[in-house]
């Protein structure tokens, strides 16, 4: 059995992860951490009766008490790096879905995990369809270097652009290199109307609305044609097979794997 602690357990993703871990035979839900609603049993969070696992606020105390193999983190951009470093120092393997981490924080975590020889998976998107969307976008960029990204999410999302959009831009840039896109004499009559520019010049547009879950269009333009690659997560259980895959695979890793594609396609 793989012993799992869920961090951010009371959140939208945390509740799905609790349920998925609880329902999976080879995984043992041993702890749940969240700064919300300390003390309550986690079962009612996903509509189950009491399961005997309380929500606790102090991650380090939970790690010391439960000695898990893996910590799954879906918290916030402000909390994630600290949580991951705490887990690594306790030799607990992080599986991280939280987005919005800075590049310097990611580098620090890479070197800490490598030094300690502890496995860690960080994936901006755990949905198989999203991983394929990014792969197909990289393939399309070989023939259509002109591209813009529109990502659409629920209106409670803290970070913009999404981690998925950044990962998509990075994948396209790795293919098209320093290609310069578009007409550079344009004027924005409303500031920001042309979206944000990722390094390398790819424009990303972030839409936030109630009713949305997680969606993205990658639109390529060429001579007399466009190509659109779109992915929709219409519910959060879309992320669970990827999370469970990462929990099992991280047990056999040393250091950081960044991106689910490295577990699926490698
Ligand atoms: N990689 C992927 O496939 C996916 C990634 N995500 C990412 O996951 C993250 C969480 O998303 P979502 O579940 O919607 O967000 P929520 O705000 O619903 O959940 C986050 C939870 O973490 C809690 N929290 C905040 N800080 C801490 C901390 N230091 N320790 C423990 N708990 C903490 C929050 O409490 P409070 O509200 O009181 O702050 C909240 O209950 C986001 O970064 C999102 O982008 C989401 C979906 C898929
Ligand atoms: O906040 C979300 O909901 C999501 N966040 C991730 C991101 O920023 O890419 C993954 C998915 O898009 C859902």
Per-residue pLDDT reduced to its tens digit, 211-236: 999 999 999 999 999 999 999 999 99
Residue 14 alpha carbon, nearest atom of ligand 1: 13
**CATH number of the domain that residue 255 is part of:** 3.40.50.720
Q: Considering every ligand atom, which ligand is closest to the CA of 8?
A: 1
The CB-side HSE value for 211 (13 A sphere, CA atoms) comes to 2
Cα three-residue angle 132-137-141, rounded to 5 degrees = 155
Q: What is the band of 89 on the pLDDT scale with cuts at 50, 70, 90?
A: very high
Contact of 153 with 212, CB cutoff 8 Å:
yes
The separation between CA 205 and the C-alpha centre of its own chain, rounded to angstroms, equals 18
- Across the range 74-78, mean pLDDT stands at 97
Ligand 1 neighbour 239 (Cβ under 6 A): yes
Decide if pLDDT at 37 tops 80. Answer: no
Indicate whether 181 and 246 sit together in one domain. no
Residues 175 and 159 in one domain: yes
Indicate if 203 and 244 belong to the same structural domain: no
Residues 147, 257: one domain? no
Give the atom of ligand 2 at the shortest distance from the alpha carbon of 216: 12
Same domain membership, residue 140 and residue 12: no
Q: What domain range is 22 assigned to?
A: 2-122+237-264
In Å, what is the CA distance from 97 to each residue of 44, 69, 73, 140? Answer: 23, 17, 6, 26
Q: Find the ligand nearest to 206 CA.
A: 2
DSSP string covering 156-189, please?
T--SSS-HHHHHHHHHHHHHHTT---S-TT---S
| Ligand-binding site membership of 11 (annotated) | yes
For the question of whether the overall pTM of this predicted structure is more than 0.95, the answer is: yes
Same domain, 93 and 152: no
Together in a domain, 62 and 100: yes
């Amino acid at each position: 059995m793989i012993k799992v602690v869920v961090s951010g357990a009371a959140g939208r993703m945390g509740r799905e992860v609790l349920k998925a871990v609880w329902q999976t035979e080879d995984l043992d839900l041993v702890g749940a951490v969240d700064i919300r609603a300390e003390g309550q049993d986690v079962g009612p969070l996903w509509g189950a009766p009491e399961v005997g696992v309380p929500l606790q606020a102090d991650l380090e105390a939970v790690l010391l008490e439960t000695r898990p193999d893996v910590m799954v983190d879906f918290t916030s951009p402000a909390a994630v790096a600290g949580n991951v470093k705490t887990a690594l120092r306790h030799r607990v393997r992080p599986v991280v879905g939280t987005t919005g981490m800075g590049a310097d924080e990611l580098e620090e975590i890479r070197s800490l995990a490598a030094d300690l020889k502890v496995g860690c998976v960080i994936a901006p998107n755990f949905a198989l369809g999203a991983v394929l969307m990014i792969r197909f976008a990289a393939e399309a960029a070989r023939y259509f270097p002109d591209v813009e990204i529109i990502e659409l999410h629920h209106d409670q999302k803290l970070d913009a652009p999404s981690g998925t959009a950044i990962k998509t831009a990075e994948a396209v840039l790795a293919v098209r290199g320093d290609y310069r896109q578009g007409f550079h004499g344009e004027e924005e009559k409303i500031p920001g109307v042309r979206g944000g520019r990722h390094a390398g010049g790819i424009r990303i547009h972030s839409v936030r609305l109630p009713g949305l879950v997680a969606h993205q269009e990658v639109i390529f333009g060429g001579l007399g044609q466009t190509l659109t690659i779109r992915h929709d997560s219409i519910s959060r259980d879309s992320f669970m097979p990827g999370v469970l895959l990462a929990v099992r695979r991280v047990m056999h890793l040393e250091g950081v794997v960044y991106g689910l594609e490295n577990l699926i396609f490698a």
